[in-house]
Structure 1
């Protein structure tokens, strides 16, 4: 592994971590496209790498920062969602590895587009 690759990986992690901590995105939204563009990964490799990074509780510190700053986080809810996320992740990965990579890229992009449209045009603001 060259110094250039190490620096690129550190940059990818810093960008994903910063965006995760600041706006709640990082895994698929940031790491997958960056891994494809800058590391030359295919869609499967990029998704697998993103999941591997998140396998460790890398976002716990960021979540705790929100919680300790007065933005109450119900940890019981998070635990239930996390357990379901593991099950969903298992079945989702089983399906994804059997899809054509071009189809998988289109699905990935479509999901991002739907979320973006919803967030931009149909978000309700809480006071």
Structure 2
């Protein structure tokens, strides 16, 4: 059962490097459908994987060397993410899986429409 997780990680890493995405858009749905996790388990597992900065750090160094990274801005975002992750994880662990799955689907549709329209 290790291979599916490695493939999910590779896909998330490639898309993270290309588009700056990975956790919510790739890892969480993959864990729900491939590993048959609940949305809460998938979100928790994704957050834990993202805590290990190896994959993101390698990509960030590449962007930094090319002059496409603002480290101070990234630190402020990380601080906001810490606060937001605490609140979001509290909400996610206190709603049922179906509600969380539907809310996630609405978020993804909304983001897709916004990106498509501009």
Q: TM-score range by the shorter chain?
A: over 0.9
- Give the Cα–Cα distance (whole angstroms) in 2 for the partners of residues 24 and 74 of structure 1: 14
1:107 has 2:103 as partner: yes
Following the alignment from structure 1 to structure 2, what is the Cα–Cα distance between the partners of residues 100 and 68? 44
Q: Which residue number in structure 1 is paired with residue 4 of structure 2?
A: 8
Calculate the TM-score normalised by the size of structure 1: 0.88
Structure 1 distance, partners of 2:64, 2:117, is 28
Query: Which structure carries more helix by proportion?
Result: 2
Q: Deviations over 1:4-51 (max 9, x none)?
A: x11111111111111111111110100011111111111111111110
| Higher-RCO chain (CA-CA 8 Å, sequence separation at least 6) | 2
Q: TM-score, normalization: structure 2?
A: 0.94
Partner Cα distance (1:48, 1:16) in 2 = 16
CA distance in 1, matches of 2:103, 2:50: 21
Structure 1's unaligned 5+ residue stretches are 123-127
Residue number in structure 1 paired with 2:65? 68
TM alignment of 1:43-62, pairs within 5 A: 43-57=39-53, 58-62=55-59
- In 2, distance between residues paired with 1:68 and 1:77? 16
Q: Secondary structure at the match of 1:59?
A: helix
Give the RMSD, CA atoms, in angstroms: 1.0
Q: Which one has the largest radius of gyration?
A: 1
